[in-house]
Amino acid sequence: MTDAVLNAVRTHLAAHLSGPGGAEPESASVTFLGLEPIDVLRFVSPETGLVRFATLGCSRHPMGDPTAMVADPTRGPRAELILSLRHAEGITSGVHRTLALLAALPAVEGVVLTDDALLDLGEPLWDGAPFTAVLLEAGDVPDLELPEPADPVRFFDAIPLTGTEAAWKRLRGADALREAWTEAGIDLRDPQRAQARL
């Protein structure tokens, strides 16, 4: 079923991120020792200048407790990550590997990707980036229903955070961080944005 899931996810992402008549996304495959490959698809919108990177591979298997004696191959939450950046051409070297690393966390560490989850790498998300973590939230790509009894695939926007913002999220919560961004008028899709004043 895993190939069928990934094919369905790819088609679903293309339908929602490429738009009608949109170009096929560029794809980079990243493999970590002992894990199945994770692809990162790159969708570009010339009209808006928006570049969207989407993982393909995290949803191959349901997320669950890594200490369980027997993993359920069908039931359990599934997810993929989407990173959206405006005018990001040429300044996001390394982002494919980083996104694949984040998408591999469920398989490696048993992390279950959910709304408001904080994933902190402690290193730049791409070369020269001030961001070292991401906050997950529901995005504009709807869930993909799979044949029963499988759970649907969810698509989370990965919002880049600075180290200070990540610490603030831990201390005050995701809603307080979003309020600070809103008050400061911060464009979260700007790869060179300033951090919120906290």
- Six-digit token string for 51: 């570049």
Predicted local confidence at residue 195, as pLDDT:
85
The pLDDT value given to residue 71: 66
Cis ω before 124 (30° cut-off from 0): no
DSSP class of residue 8 equals H
Q: Which helix (H) or strand (E) covers residue 96, if one does? A: helix 95-109
Predicted TM-score (pTM) above 0.85: yes
**pLDDT digits 0-9 by tens, 13-57:** 999 998 666 778 999 999 998 889 999 999 988 778 899 999 999
> What's the confidence (pLDDT) of residue 66?
58
pLDDT at 24 (0 to 100):
85
Q: Determine the pLDDT at residue 95.
A: 93
* Distant-in-sequence, close-in-space partners of 81: CB < 8 Å, separation ≥ 6: 54, 55, 58, 99, 102, 103, 113, 134, 136, 155, 156, 157, 158
Phi, psi angle pair for 4, to nearest 5°? -65, -40
Query: Nearest 5°: CA angle at 112, between 106 and 115?
Result: 135
Q: Which parts of the chain have pLDDT scores under 70?
A: 1, 19-21, 65-72
